[in-house]
């Protein structure tokens, strides 16, 4: 007989009961031919209708208890009839599989358990499981689970925290698959924000609402505990006395950040602390808190992408059944509008380059001509250029990453490796640069670098990875030209190509985009402008051939209402 436990009245004055039913059956013992009694206990809460007296409620709950017990007994018997090994029934569609992973020092079995839930939907269609389908599905899950346990690769998402899995993901996946710069960024965001908020949760228990709470918290004012800190005048004077490269080596701070600090621009607290530790300064006396203490939408989206990547791997490794991040809507990203030089600005820049050193002049011309990334530009060797065909092979890039140093690596995607045709003008300029470099080599002699890079110092040593940015920024300031970043020369190339009528597929290939949709998304405003030019061109064509009657273009008569 099921047990009935009164729970008193609820807020509406209704009598509430807890019904607990226990059923038993004889099943085979795990790993043996013997049999043992197996029981299953299930509970339900039942509430009597309103305005039901206590005595009436007791009579009604007894009927409910009998029905519940019969329902549980049938469910349990149906489960026993499946003849599943090492599997327990938890609820109607939930089962627990047990596998042995060996014996401890006392000779006792070490058991691993995993909960398996029958999918309710497949391709948005609700499933109705037959006994045979349940048996086949659960047997397959049991075999897979036993293999994972036997190989020592089973990760239990119900007991493993998000922090523990993330560390495993970093060690076994990220370290091998991600580029050093990406890995460094991921580690920083994971340690700084993600783990303090989500690390304590069991990974199998993470739900979309946990993630939404985290993202909403990141968007709150005051969440940036580090804030922004502006260097004092004394600190700026101190920094001016040091070469930027030396400061980078002393502190581990990137070249661009040191450049901004020298100009008095604010930075984050970790950077301020690094600088003050290296120069033996007091942070409170050297920096003043300022600026907004809120994370940008872009930064919040980056946190989401990292969390989603970790959880997606957890699904692949059979640690969790589904990725809850896929069910979180964080809104559409802010559309990026590329900044670039127009024709007049570009002409002014080329005019200013005429009085600059030839190597630096070539550096800018090649960037505008090919639209390549800064890291790709400084990695080009003379052997990558075929002056006869005018083709340049882009197959590597140089980067400086704090904590790693300078690295040369392949492009991020297969489409990053490409062959781009030089204009005849820039082809001639590079031939001249090669001759100039040959003259420098004859002066320097054996100490000349063997890297054979195109853009080097006068002794043949490679320019620093941030040299184009540094030199170009100073160049624009010297000549009073509008400020753009060196990378925006790449966008300038794209605008020139679009204006010249280059199709999106060809442009995407030259820029090294993995997908033409990236090109469309980045330069859609330029392409739209080009589309309007087509309409204007059609007007000129119609006028030139005089093929449209004037009456066809007159204002249409006013439409009168029907009487």
Please, which pLDDT band fits residue 528 given cuts at 50, 70 and 90? low
Q: How far is 112 from 139, CA to CA, in rounded Å? A: 16
Q: How far is 483 from 191, CA to CA, in rounded Å? A: 35
- The pLDDT, as a whole number, for residue 292 is 57
Q: Is the pTM of this model over 0.75?
A: no
Enumerate residues 6+ apart whose C-beta is below 8 A from 106. Answer: none
In this structure, the number of other CB atoms found within 10 A of the CB of residue 430 comes to 22
**Residue 359 and residue 482 in one domain:** yes
Answer for the pair 414, 421: CB distance below 8 angstroms, yes or no.
no
Average pLDDT of the segment spanning 243-254: 87
405-445 tens-digit pLDDT: 788 888 877 788 899 999 999 999 999 999 998 888 888 77
- The pLDDT, as a whole number, for residue 549 is 47
In this structure, the number of other CB atoms found within 10 A of the CB of residue 129 comes to 14
Domain-located, residue 548: no
**Residue 377 and residue 244 in one domain:** no
Residues of the domain holding 64: 3-151
Q: How far is 211 from 418, CA to CA, in rounded Å? A: 40
Domain-located, residue 525: no
* DSSP 3-state percent helix, strand, coil across the chain (nearest 5): 50, 15, 30
State the CATH number of the domain containing residue 307: 1.10.150.130
Q: How far is 351 from 236, CA to CA, in rounded Å? A: 34
Nearest to 312 by CA among 322, 301, 304: 322
- The pLDDT, as a whole number, for residue 553 is 43
Q: Which residue among 151, 183, 200 closes a domain?
A: 151
Model confidence at 11: pLDDT above 50: yes
State the CATH number of the domain containing residue 449: 1.10.443.10
Domain-located, residue 546: no
Please, which pLDDT band fits residue 547 given cuts at 50, 70 and 90? very low
**Residue 238 and residue 383 in one domain:** no
Q: How far is 265 from 278, CA to CA, in rounded Å? A: 19
Domain-located, residue 337: no
Q: How many domains does the chain have?
A: 4
Q: Backbone phi, then psi, for 27, in 5-degree steps?
A: -130, 165
Enumerate residues 6+ apart whose C-beta is below 8 A from 415. Answer: 509, 512, 513, 514
Answer for the pair 17, 28: CB distance below 8 angstroms, yes or no.
no
**Residue 314 and residue 191 in one domain:** yes
Q: How far apart are the first and last CA of the chain?
A: 83
């Amino acid at each position: 007989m099921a047990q009935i436990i009164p729970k008193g009245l609820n807020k509406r004055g209704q009598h509430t009961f807890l019904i607990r039913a226990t059923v038993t059956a004889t099943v085979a013992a795990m790993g043996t031919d013997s049999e043992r009694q197996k029981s299953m206990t299930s509970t339900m809460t039942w509430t009597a209708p309103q305005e039901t007296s206590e005595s009436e409620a007791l009579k009604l709950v007894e009927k409910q208890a009998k029905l519940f017990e019969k329902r549980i007994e049938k469910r349990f018997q149906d489960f026993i009839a499946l003849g599943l090994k090492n599997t327990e029934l938890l609820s109607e569609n939930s089962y627990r599989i047990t596998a042995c992973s060996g014996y401890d020092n006392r000779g006792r079995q070490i058991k691993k358990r995993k909960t398996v839930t029958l999918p309710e939907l497949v391709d948005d269609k609700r499933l109705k499981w037959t006994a045979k389908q349940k048996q086949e599905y659960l047997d397959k899950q049991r075999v897979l689970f036993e293999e994972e346990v036997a190989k020592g690769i089973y990760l239990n998402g119900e007991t493993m925290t998000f922090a523990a899995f993330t560390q495993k993901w970093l060690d076994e996946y990220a370290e091998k698959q991600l580029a050093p710069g990406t890995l460094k960024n991921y580690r920083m965001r994971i340690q700084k924000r993600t783990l303090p908020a989500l690390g304590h949760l069991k990974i199998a228990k993470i739900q979309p609402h946990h993630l939404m709470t985290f993202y909403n918290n990141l968007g709150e004012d005051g969440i940036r505990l580090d804030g922004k800190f502006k260097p004092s005048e004394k600190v700026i004077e101190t920094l001016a006395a040091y070469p930027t490269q030396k400061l980078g080596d002393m502190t581990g701070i990137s070249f661009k950040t040191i450049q901004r600090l020298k100009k008095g621009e604010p930075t984050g607290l970790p950077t301020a602390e690094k600088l003050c530790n290296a120069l033996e300064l007091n942070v409170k006396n050297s920096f003043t808190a300022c600026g907004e203490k809120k994370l940008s939408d872009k930064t919040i989206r980056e946190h989401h992408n990292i969390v989603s990547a970790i959880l997606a791997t957890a699904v692949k490794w059979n640690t969790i059944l589904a990725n809850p991040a896929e069910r979180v809507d964080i809104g559409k990203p802010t559309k990026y509008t590329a900044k670039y030089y127009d024709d007049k600005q570009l002409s002014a820049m080329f005019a200013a380059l005429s009085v600059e050193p030839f190597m630096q002049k070539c550096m800018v011309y090649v960037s505008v001509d090919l639209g390549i990334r800064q890291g790709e530009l400084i990695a080009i060797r003379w052997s990558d250029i075929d002056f006869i065909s005018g083709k340049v092979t882009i197959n590597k890039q140089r980067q400086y990453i704090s904590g790693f140093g300078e690295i040369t690596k392949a492009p991020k995607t297969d489409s990053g490796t490409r062959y781009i045709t030089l204009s005849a003008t820039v082809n001639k300029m590079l031939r001249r640069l090669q001759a100039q470099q040959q003259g420098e080599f004859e002066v320097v002699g054996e100490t000349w670098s063997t890297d054979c890079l195109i853009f080097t110092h006068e002794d043949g040593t490679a320019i620093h990875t941030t040299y184009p940015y540094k030199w170009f920024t100073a160049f624009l300031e010297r000549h009073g030209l509008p400020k753009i970043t060196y990378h925006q020369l790449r966008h300038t190339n794209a605008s020139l190509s679009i204006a010249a009528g280059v199709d999106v597929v060809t442009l995407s290939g030259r820029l090294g985009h993995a997908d033409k949709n990236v090109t469309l998304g980045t330069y859609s405003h330029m392409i739209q402008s080009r589309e309007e030019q087509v309409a204007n061109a059609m007007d000129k064509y119609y006028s030139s051939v005089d093929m449209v009657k004037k009456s066809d273009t007159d204002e249409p008569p006013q439409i009168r209402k029907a009487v």
